[in-house]
């Protein structure tokens, strides 16, 4: 019953996000600040993780190709498929649930503890729109992060495969180009947009409705990470079944 109540409260919060909007002159500045904090601030970790994950995928693929009859270009093919379909959109989003999600929950939770949200309500400001809407808009740029992750994941696979002696550059590039389906990219970005909305709203929910003091802010951040990751995994399964099943 507790979880059903939380789900209902979450959807009511989503409704309030788009009700009684804050002045655009104020919202615009908030959006730019959130883009800087949530997107630009996460660029470094996405670059680092994507490059080395792509390298690991290429190495593991190459090491598991024992049969000499299996062509070496499959290293590039497997790396491309793994990075585009799963590692860049889903794996990155789960990591971002820890970085971005914890930041959103703790920042809003701290405002709740210090009664800043109550002050906004007293001034007649729709605090849900003021705090959450700019984060949703900012995270609509999240697919750019995933696109960079895709590129660097494949590049990392090329570096690991070629310089590790597992594949030649020509074979790896042939694998990247082999049997390419543009729909797979559409599928990846479709679920990335859904993940972006989840990353913006579920952590915000846990921060906005938390109760207690400073200690509970940390607990709320942990809880939001768990639930954001769970929802991302479940939604990933549903979207995959709908679009690729």
- The SS3 assignment for 216 reads helix
pLDDT (mean) for 150-173 = 90
Express each pLDDT in 27-44 by its tens digit. 899 999 999 999 998 999
pLDDT (mean) for 5-26 = 87
* Nearest-5° Cα angle at 201, 151 to 186: 35
242 — phi, psi (to 5°)? -75, -40
b/e sequence 197-233, b meaning 16+ C-beta within 10 Å: ebbbbbbbbbbbebeeeeeebeebbebbbebbbebbe
Q: Report the predicted TM-score, pTM, of the whole model to 2 decimal places.
A: 0.90
CA 108 distance to own-chain centroid: 19
The share of the chain scoring above pLDDT 90, in percent, equals 55
- The token pair at 207 is 């921060």
Q: What is the DSSP letter of 41?
A: G
């Amino acid at each position: 019953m507790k979880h059903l109540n939380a789900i209902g409260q979450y959807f009511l919060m989503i409704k309030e996000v788009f009700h009684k909007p804050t002045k655009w002159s104020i919202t615009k500045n908030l959006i730019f600040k959130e883009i800087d904090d949530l997107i630009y601030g996460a660029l470094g970790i996405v670059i680092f993780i994507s490059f080395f994950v792509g390298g690991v995928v290429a190495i593991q693929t190459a090491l598991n190709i024992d049969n000499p009859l299996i062509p070496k270009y499959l290293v590039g093919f497997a790396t491309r498929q793994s990075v585009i379909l799963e590692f860049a959109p889903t794996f990155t989003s789960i990591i971002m649930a820890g970085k971005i999600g914890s930041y959103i929950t703790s920042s809003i939770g701290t405002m709740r503890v210090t009664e800043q949200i109550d002050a906004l309500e007293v001034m007649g400001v729709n605090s849900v729109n003021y705090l959450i809407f700019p984060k949703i808009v900012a995270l609509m740029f999240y697919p750019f992060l995933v696109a960079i992750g895709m590129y660097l994941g494949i590049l990392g696979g090329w570096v690991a495969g070629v310089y590790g002696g597992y594949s030649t550059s020509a074979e790896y590039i042939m694998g990247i180009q082999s049997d390419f389906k543009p729909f797979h990219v559409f599928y990846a970005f479709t679920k990335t947009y859904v993940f972006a909305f989840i990353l913006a709203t579920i952590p915000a929910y846990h921060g906005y409705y938390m109760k207690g003091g400073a200690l509970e802010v940390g607990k709320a951040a942990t809880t939001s990470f768990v639930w954001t990751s769970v929802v991302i995994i479940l939604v990933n399964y549903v979207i995959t079944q709908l679009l690729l099943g």
